[in-house]
Structure 1
Amino acid sequence: MVNALQWLFGILVVVTVFFSAFYSFRSRRASDGRLRGLYASRMNISMGLMLIFIALIQMFMFPGSSVRVIVGAAFLLLGLFNLFAGLRNHSHFTRLMRQ
């Protein structure tokens, strides 16, 4: 069971890294400011999910030490902040795209 969770979280981290890089590239190449913001918000969402998955790996898959729990908690907070900011910006830029 633990081995399956390690594989699942590992695959999810790789997928979110791919999407972060993909949307980062598209954000930098977009000429329209609204598209640039939309792609940057999707990159933030992907990066937030990646950090959350890394935090879950750190906190639950290995024997707990104080340093590991602190690093996992920091990654979790950073991931939640990125996810929240990305979702907020995504809703803002999708409203701009509709106008």
Structure 2
Amino acid sequence: MENFMQWVLGVLIVFTCCLSVVYSFKSRRSTDRRISGLNASRMNISMGLMLIFIAIIQMFMFTGSSVRVVVGALFFLLGVFNLFAGMRNHSHFSRLSQ
């Protein structure tokens, strides 16, 4: 079961990392500020989820040392901040698009 969870979380990390890269390129290449803002907020959401998945692996999948738990907690807090900032910006820019 633990091996299955590591594979699932690993696939989710790679998937969200790829989404972050795609949205980053779209955001930088767009000339419209609203579309650029929407893609940047989607990038933040993807990056936040990626950091949360990394934190889950760090804190729960391996034997706990205090350094590993602290790094996992920092990744988790940074991921939650990115997730909520991206969601807030996405709602702001989607209202501007309408």
C-alpha distance in structure 1 between counterparts of 2:66 and 2:56, whole Å = 15
Alpha-carbon distance in 2 for matches of 1:60, 1:9: 11
Q: Once superposed, which parts of structure 1, at least 4 consecutive aligned residues long, lie more than 4 Å away? A: none
- Aligned partners of 2:91, 2:97: CA distance in 1, in Å? 10
Residue aligned with 2:31, SS: coil
Letter in 2 for 1:76: F
TM-score, normalised with respect to structure 2? 1.00
Equivalent residue number for residue 55 of structure 2: 55
- How far apart, CA to CA, are the structure 1 residues paired with 2:57 and 2:20? 19
1: CA distance, partners of 2:78 / 2:21:
18
Q: RMSD of aligned C-alpha atoms?
A: 0.2
| Equivalent position amino acid for 1:81 in 2 | F
Any idea what the Cα deviations from partners look like across 1:41-85, whole Å, max 9, x if unmatched?
000000000000000000000000000000000000000000000
Quote the Cα distance in structure 1 between the aligned partners of 2:11 and 2:32: 33
User: Kindly, what percent of the aligned residue pairs are identical?
Assistant: 69
Number of the residue aligned with 2:2: 2
Counterpart of 2:85, as a letter, is A
Q: Alpha-carbon deviation of 1:5? A: 0.2
Give the letter aligned to residue 59 of structure 1: M
- How many residues are treated as equivalent by the alignment? 98
Can you give the 5+ residue segments of structure 2 that lack an aligned partner in the other structure?
none
In structure 1, the gaps of 5 or more residues are: none
Q: Distance in 1 between matches of 2:44 and 2:5?
A: 24
The C-alpha deviation readout for 1:6-65, integer Å capped at 9, x for no partner, is 000000000000000000000000000011000000000000000000000000000000
Report the AA paired with residue 20 of structure 2. Answer: S
Please, what TM-score do these two structures have when normalized by structure 1? 0.99
